[in-house]
Amino acid sequence: MQRALRTALRERLSCAHPELASRHDLSTTEGLAAAGAASAEADTTLVAVVVRDLDLAAWAGQTCAYALGLDAAQGAAWRRAFTRTVFLAGNPAELGARFPFARIAQDASVAWTAPGPPAATAALRRLLKLLQAPAEVPNGGDIAFEVPHPTLQVPHPVLRVPGPASGGAPAPSCPPVGGVVHLATVGCTMSAALVHLNHLLTEAVLDGLIAPGDRFVLRRVPRLVAGQEPFDAVRVVPDERVPDRLQLSAALTAPLTATARRTPRTGRL
């Protein structure tokens, strides 16, 4: 499994920075870490997200819509910076007159700035504190959501699919809504979930795996295992419990309609 996770991480690094393959040994955990550090110093494009209220499924749909609304140059610059994002605690409704947001949810629960250099969001980041959400993500029934069109601010409704933890019938293993966003919950705080899902979803959008109207379920499980089922995109991070090991924190099973949109660089794990 470690080999599969290293391969997935190597593909992510090579996709954003092909030159890293010649400067670092991307077949080892140490080489991957060194390449990641080097790329972080080279690319400073970032997005600031202001969060007032957090519903993971609704936020996931709106995050996809935000990434879908970026133009080619913005998307390429952000992708090269590994979709670097800073989450801030605040009320977008009180900030819109002072700061130019690229997208604001209709209920003003979340707002996104356009990808840009750190200086573009420095004032906003000085004004607000980093979002702190230390509560662990609970397991539970699947939550269905739809990806809205990027020009629409109206939030699509989410549907909570009953599961064993919520007292209903077990959720189907192959939900009728198309794709699945998998999130490993053991040791995962809400803050960490935002980071993992943000990278997973926005990069999947930029890689052509997600389009407006696609339907998903957010599936929260204790752990994810590479190779247990086919994933179209993954979020791989260091395992804080075991040095030099990687773990799968989130994964995406894209809708079948995404097959025709999938870029050649995107494979299945």
Look at 20-29, 57-66, 158-167, 178-187 and tell me which has the smallest mean pLDDT: 158-167
Q: How far apart are CA 196 and CA 203, in angstroms?
A: 11
The rounded percent of the chain whose pLDDT value lies above 70 is 80
The predicted model gives 150-175 an average pLDDT of 47
Work out the pLDDT band at 166, boundaries 50, 70, 90. Answer: very low
DSSP-assigned beta bridge partners for residue 183:
220, 250
Give 84-134 pLDDT, tens digit per residue: 999 999 999 999 899 999 999 988 999 999 999 999 999 999 999 999 999
163 pLDDT exceeds 80? Answer: no
Q: Nearest-CA neighbor of 17 among 268, 269, 267, 265?
A: 265
DSSP-assigned beta bridge partners for residue 85:
47
Two tokens, residue 38: 């080097």
Mean pLDDT computed over every residue of the chain: 83
Q: How far apart are CA 137 and CA 97, in angstroms?
A: 33
Residues listed for the chain: 269
Work out the pLDDT band at 264, boundaries 50, 70, 90. Answer: very low
Give 187-245 pLDDT, tens digit per residue: 999 999 999 999 999 999 999 999 999 999 999 999 998 777 789 999 998 887 877 78
Interior angle at CA 88, CA 103 and CA 222, nearest 5: 95
Taking the CA of residue 32 as centre, how many other CA atoms within 13 Å lie in the half-sphere pointing to its CB? 20
Give 29-80 pLDDT, tens digit per residue: 677 777 767 666 666 899 999 999 999 999 999 999 999 999 999 999 999 8
Work out the pLDDT band at 21, boundaries 50, 70, 90. Answer: low
